[in-house]
Chain A
Amino acid sequence: MEQTEYKVRVEHLTKYFGDLHVLDDISFNIRKGEFLCVVGPTGCGKTTFLNLLTRIIAPTSGELYIDGIPADPKKHNLAFVFQEPSAMPWLTVEKNLRFGLEIKKIPKDEADRRVEEILKLLGLGDFRNFYPHQLSVSTAQRIIIGRAFIMHPDLLLMDEPYGQMDIKLRFYLEDEVIKLWKELKSTVVFITHNIEEAVYLADRVLILTNKPASIKEEVIIDLPRPRDVVDSKFIAYRKYITDQIKWW
């Protein structure tokens, strides 16, 4: 495959925190417009991996390119959905959604249009003037997801965004992610420890080993969308990945 087709190239990524070896020589590529899920045991360094992608932290060694340029949030249109509730407590729902748009100085009419679109998509219209602390944890998390999608990012990084949600909302938002991913043709890296979620969402699943994390295996999920969680092929994929994680 042509190198230019890759959105993200990761080469020999290694990270130590002091003596703690978190990531060990990880190399892989992500195609433009691909939906990649990363699964692995809890605490194996998935979050560290994403933080390296955005350069919130710097790798100990190895290189990481987005669009052929070393990863840099200042150059790339990145969006990130954090695992922890990261909605700004001092902003209303609507102003939280506008936060990134204002920082990137998106024109007002375009920003207005996107805010209305996201409020409608996430069903947050009635809450636009509420503050995050007045909402449930899952609703507050929807603000963060909205705040990421509203940027129409080249690369959307999601760090277990649905970890704290009830199952109904989770299914709903998973479909929402797929819909937005298809519409905007963005490249998504989605980290989860929920294997069913990974099989439901991903074009390709990256299985990480325990710490220090390296890539154990790549599984291409060749299923038509929308996917059916009780389809026998779906269950086969889920079982296979589960076994890969269990077996060291």
Chain B
Amino acid sequence: MKIMTVKKRERHKNTFYQILSVASVLGLIGLWIYISSTSRFPTPGDIWERMIKMFQYPIKGKNIFGHLLASLQRVMIALSFCWTFGLAFGILLGWNQKCRAFLEPLFSAFRAVPPLAWIPLITLWFGIGEFPKILIVIMGGLPPIVVNTQAGIANVQQLYLDVGTIFHANRRQMLFQIALPSALDAVLAGIKNSMSSAWVVVLAAEMLGGKSGVGFLISRGMDSMDMPLILLAMIAIGSVSALFAIALNTIERIACPWLLKKK
């Protein structure tokens, strides 16, 4: 009897928290509708219409999904390079003292320069095609994964390495069976960070020059004072980023169940 009421109360509490979360979103939408009805700020309906209109009159031959795909493609190409090369480079820096001593100053200097500062040089060297944009995104996505991997590998608990010594593990086994798995949570944090900074950089690169992508849509909207277009692009970016975050968290939960205890 008593357990039932406790369970019931627990359930009520959870329902209450869920209602709170839904309420905040509904509140934001309500505020939006109110403000847009009393000013020239576009309503949600305007944005919906803007999206439909884009299917009839594409901008530079692409509707909203076409532009989203263009940005996504740049981000994914850049990130797949960052994740493979950055992981390898981070392991090298974290594991090999000589490499760290030799390469870390260069890497720190590179990291200290924001990727967007490279735009003039890269434009000069590689023009304004697809490759220079991807290169700039790589410059944004690389540091987080390298820094996190290096820190994770360098900070492996000595106790675990001692266990490896006792079992006379060789250097390779120490790295792949002890250091790397124990650094996995740091690596995953690096992957998440590199993803968000890749998005930031791709938008900026597209805004500064380009004929496709959501960043281009935003600057096009700004030039023609097309507020619904700007908001449409913002919502598209937000939705895709959120979906990515959810996907990564799911992968983390399935691939590294031992990390759940920290949450």
Contacts and interface: CB of A to CB of B under 8 A. Distances in A.
Nearest to B157: A86
Interface size class of A (residues with CB under 8 A): 20 to 34
B263 to A, nearest CB: 12
Contact of B182 (A78, A90, A100, A102): A90
Contacts of B160: 86, 88
A56 B168 contact: no
B167 A103 contact: yes
B178 interface: yes
A174 B187 CA distance: 41
Main secondary structure of the interface of A (DSSP, over half): loop
Given A131-B257, A131-B258, A56 B162 contact: yes
A89 interface: yes
Interface residues of B, number: 20
Nearest to A51: B162
**Residues of B contacting A: mostly:** helix
Interface in A78-127: 78-80, 82, 84, 86, 88-91, 99-100, 102-104
Interface string B178-198: 100110100000000000000
B123 interface: no
A54 interface: yes
Interface of B: 159-160, 162-169, 173, 177-178, 181-182, 184, 256-258, 261
- Top-8 shortest CB links A-B: A100-B167, A90-B181, A133-B261, A80-B166, A131-B258, A74-B168, A103-B167, A103-B169
Interface of A: 54-56, 73-74, 78-80, 82, 84, 86, 88-91, 99-100, 102-104, 131-134, 151
